[in-house]
Amino acid sequence: MTTKVFVNFPVRNLAKSTHFYEQLGFEKNEMFSNEHASAMMWDDRFWIMLLTHDFYKQFLQGKTIADTQKTSAALIAFEMKSADAIKQFAKKAKENGGHYYRIDHGIPEEHMFGLEVLDLDGNTLEPMWMAPTQ
C-alpha cells in the first residue's frame, strides 16, 4: 500500500498562500478545497493543506497556533530530483515573498543538498536531494 502524507499549515491569508504554493509548483485540488482550505498537491502522495486560522483551530482542542515567524512548529522535508531543482524551488519562494537559507552539514553537495524554505507564514519546508547509494 502506498501512503499519502498530508501536512496541515495554518495560514493568515488563504488566497495569497495558495498563490505562493502554486508558484512553487504545487497544484490546487479543487475537490478538497473551499473557503477554509486549499488542498495543494506536490504529487499524488504528498499534499500540503493550507487552512485558515479559524478552521485550523478546530483541530487543536484549546491549543494555540504557533507563530511560525518566531517559533518553529515543524520541519517538513521532502525529496526533489536534484540540487538544481531545489535551488529553483527556493528562488521561486523568495520571488513570491518567502525566504530560504542553507545549513552547512559538512556533506558535499554532490552527495546531499537541501535548503530551509519558509512560506509567507514562516512554515518551513526542507526540499532535499541525496545521491543514489547504489
Domain boundaries, the chain: 5-59+72-130
Mean pLDDT score of the chain, rounded to an integer? 95
Class of domain 5-59+72-130: alpha beta
Beta strand segments in 4-134, E: 5-11, 27-29, 37-41, 46-52, 75-79, 99-101, 112-114, 116-118, 124-130
> Which of the four pLDDT bands, split at 50, 70 and 90, describes residue 132?
confident
The pLDDT value given to residue 1: 76
> Which of the four pLDDT bands, split at 50, 70 and 90, describes residue 112?
very high
Mean pLDDT of 42-71: 95
Report the SS3 class of residue 15: helix
126 has pLDDT over 90 = yes
> Which of the four pLDDT bands, split at 50, 70 and 90, describes residue 133?
confident
- With beta carbons less than 8 A apart as the criterion, state whether 60 and 19 touch: no
Mean pLDDT of 86-96: 98
> Which of the four pLDDT bands, split at 50, 70 and 90, describes residue 2?
confident
Phi/psi of residue 88, nearest 5 degrees:
-65, -40
pTM above threshold 0.95 = no
- Evaluated on CA atoms 81, 87, 92, 97, the torsion sign reads positive
134 has pLDDT over 80 = no
